[in-house]
Structure 1
């Protein structure tokens, strides 16, 4: 499945994975589910749910500074 993942404020990534979960997308981007929220159509989705959307947003919850 081809999915476009936008890490808000950091860039967009085009991924192609067979039957991924949202956690698989995070793993591909080296992001921890403890530091981000995955959003589809403005709503959070569980990381263990199969990906059904072609476009996903990832919001960082913790950012160093």
Structure 2
């Protein structure tokens, strides 16, 4: 499944994984569920849920130091 992952304020990535979860998408863009949330149509989704959308937005919860 090919998914466009838009990391807000950063980059947009095209990720191609078979049967991914939202946590898999975060991992593919070098983020963890502890530092980012995945949004589909503006609503957060559980990281263990299978991906059902071809475009997601990632909102970083922690950035910088």
- TM-score, L = length of structure 1: 0.96
Aligned length: 65
Is 1:56 matched up with 2:43? Answer: no
| 1:63 shift after superposition | 1.1
After TM superposition, what 4+ stretches of structure 1 lie above 3 angstroms from structure 2? none
- TM-score, L = length of structure 2: 0.96
Q: Distance in 2 between matches of 1:47 and 1:62?
A: 17
Aligned to 2:12: 12
Root mean square deviation, CA, Å: 0.7
Q: Deviations over 1:2-30 (max 9, x none)?
A: 10000000010001100000000111111
Structure 1 segments unaligned to the other structure (5+ residues): none
Structure 2 segments unaligned to the other structure (5+ residues): none
